[in-house]
Amino acid sequence: MQIQDFDKIIQKRRSVRVYDETAPFDESVVKRGLDRAVLSPNSSNMQLWEFYWVKSQEVHDSLTKACMGQSAAKTANQLVVFVTRQDKWKERAKWNLANLEKQFEGKELTSRDKRAFDYYRKLMPLVYRYDPFGLNTLLRTIIVFFMGFSKPFLRIRNNGDQRVMTHKSCALAAQTFMMSLASEGYDTCPMEGFDSDLVKKILKLPSIAEITMIVACGIGKPEGIYSERLRVPNEKVIFEV
Ligand SMILES: Cc1cc2nc3c(=O)[nH]c(=O)nc-3n(C[C@H](O)[C@H](O)[C@H](O)COP(=O)(O)O)c2cc1C
């Protein structure tokens, strides 16, 4: 792929808020977008995310209400909900361990290989474990304080840190998805303007799950681009250090 092609994709992707509901919509574009989204970089390859591809009109209508009637949701040909699943950490750590076991089967483990196992056996529980009373937060805060006293140490202490961690990866997946659609001539609009409790109820998600964003997809109408694409000057946000 040429650099110019990538630039075209970047320029093509705008947040489009009005879609042509009558335009032919090729669902396979969404399928490919999701297949690419799962290949996004994600923290420790824990993949604590889920993607809900909304195919039912009833669910679409309910989500539009949860998005407070936003036109992007209402007129979208389809919606995809990007969800974090912090609660799946044990399952995903096990999955990673099983992969390591397969990879190293019959092989004498080097200290580097052993560290890979420790990563999922010891570090992941330390980082992701949570409980309703905050005992793990307390324990982590103490460990972080002592371990990080005289050397760099991962500053994951509380549930806020854990939530940020899972949302980062999920947002990257959403971005991959949007770029994928843009690369195939489709439009999207990421949304965080919604009632998250309602969205979770509609999708029957447990309370620990969180909605990173809902992405509207379709063929945008020209009036769906509300304004010129403006950004603060680069020197306000890009620093050479
Ligand atoms: C996390 C996130 C949440 C957003 N939420 C909404 C939203 O609820 N409704 C909306 O119309 N646009 C939403 N946007 C779109 C932004 O307003 C838009 O990306 C920004 O104005 C820049 O415009 P551009 O995407 O066309 O470059 C959201 C974007 C992001 C990244």
97 C-alpha to ligand 1 centroid (Å): 38
190 C-alpha to ligand 1 centroid (Å): 5
Q: In this structure, what is the dihedral angle of CA atoms 184, 186, 189, 190, given to the nearest 10 degrees?
A: -30
Ligand 1: which atom is nearest the Cα of residue 227? 26
Q: Could you tell me if 99 and 51 are in contact, meaning their C-beta atoms sit under 8 angstroms apart? A: no
User: Rounded distance, CA 165 to CA 9, Å?
Assistant: 27
Ligand 1, from 11, 189, 215, 232: best to mutate by most atoms within 8 Å of Cβ?
A: 189
CA-nearest residue for atom 29, ligand 1, is: 190
Q: Could you tell me if 177 and 36 are in contact, meaning their C-beta atoms sit under 8 angstroms apart? A: yes
Q: Could you tell me if 27 and 34 are in contact, meaning their C-beta atoms sit under 8 angstroms apart? A: no
Please state the domain extents for the chain: 3-43+53-84+161-227, 88-158
189 C-alpha to ligand 1 centroid (Å): 6
User: Rounded distance, CA 46 to CA 89, Å?
Assistant: 7
Is residue 46 in contact with ligand 1, taking CB distance under 6 Å?
no
Alpha helices by DSSP H, the chain: 3-12, 27-37, 57-66, 71-75, 89-104, 111-118, 124-128, 135-147, 159-183, 196-202, 234-237
User: Rounded distance, CA 62 to CA 52, Å?
Assistant: 14
Residue 142, CB-side half-sphere exposure with 13 Å CA sphere: 5
Ligand 1: which atom is nearest the Cα of residue 71? 11
Is residue 70 in contact with ligand 1, taking CB distance under 6 Å?
yes
CA-nearest residue for atom 20, ligand 1, is: 15
* pLDDT tens, residue order, the chain (241 aa): 788 899 999 999 999 999 999 999 999 999 999 999 999 999 999 999 999 999 999 999 999 999 999 999 999 999 999 999 999 999 999 999 999 999 999 999 999 999 999 999 999 999 999 998 999 999 999 999 999 999 999 899 999 999 999 999 999 999 999 999 999 999 999 999 999 999 999 999 999 999 999 999 999 999 999 999 999 999 999 999 9
192 C-alpha to ligand 1 centroid (Å): 8
pLDDT at 28: 98
Token pair for residue 129? 């474990």
69 C-alpha to ligand 1 centroid (Å): 15
User: Which H or E run includes 216?
Assistant: strand 210-218
- In whole angstroms, what separates CA 197 from the centre of its chain? 18
pLDDT at 2: 83
CA-nearest residue for atom 30, ligand 1, is: 190
166 C-alpha to ligand 1 centroid (Å): 20
Is residue 189 in contact with ligand 1, taking CB distance under 6 Å?
yes
- Rg of the chain over CA atoms, in angstroms? 21
Report domain 3-43+53-84+161-227's class.
alpha beta
- Coil, strand or helix at 210: strand
Ligand 1: which atom is nearest the Cα of residue 193? 8
